[in-house]
Amino acid sequence: MRKRIFIIMCLIFIIFSITGCSSSIIGQGNEENNELAYEDIVNEIIRFHVIANSDSEEDQNLKLKVRDRAIEYVSDKLKDCKDLSEAREFIVNNKSTIESIAKDTIIENGHSYEVTSMLSRENFPDKVYGDLVFPQGEYEAYRILIGEAKGQNWWCVMFPPLCFVDGTKDAVDSKEIEKKISEGKDKDENDIKSTTKNKNKKAKIKFKSKIFEVLFKDKEK
């Protein structure tokens, strides 16, 4: 009898263990991040990276202060940019100002690190932003390098302006991000269609004028 009870208890334990594992797997599945398609976003965004001098706590905190001041300066101005080319132009034209802001922040916090920045295309690994995964690949990015730039970096999507400085990337509205990226893509596609349409129209006009030219030449003869 005791043996039978022992066997039943073992079976119950096994059943509960299997059920628990299944629930855990289902739960993990629900928390999966959504991976964006690289080809859909690569030409629609500019990333922003701030690289710390080192991984020391002091240097990492300094990196965040530089980040805050830089984003404070660019965020409202980037909202006025209508497309990627305008955002790119703003960054290039304000590069020295952003570097000065970063340098002043570093000095105010008792350091003398050099600061460099650049807008370039760089290869980045998979990065999670809220519940979205930006796949590995080459992206356009504006990077601020502090000192030796050997520490961990902080990053966000600079354009469309989706930088969050409160450290709560988990609270990022992924639908809003996808919407803004999609809006930029749609605008680019419309611009291409409009340009193609104008080219076709010009080609037709040119073709017609050529016909008239031939006809009138024949009449003159």
pLDDT at 33: 72
Give the pLDDT of residue 135: 93
pLDDT number for residue 30: 41
DSSP at 171? G
The confidence score (pLDDT) of residue 129 equals 82
SS3 173: coil
The DSSP line for 42-83 is TTT-EEEEEE-S-SSHHHHHHHHHHHHHHHHHHHHHHHT--S
Sheet holding 115-124, edge to edge: 115-124, 137-146, 46-51, 153-159
Could you tell me if 141 and 47 are in contact, meaning their C-beta atoms sit under 8 angstroms apart? yes
Q: Which pLDDT belongs to residue 190?
A: 52
pLDDT at 201: 53
Give pLDDT < 70 ranges for the chain.
1-32, 164-178, 180, 182, 184-221
Q: How many CB atoms lie within 10 A of CB 140?
A: 20
d(CA 219, CA 221): 5
Backbone angles phi, psi at 136, to 5 degrees: -60, 140
Ranges of each domain in the chain = 45-181
pLDDT at position 34 is: 84
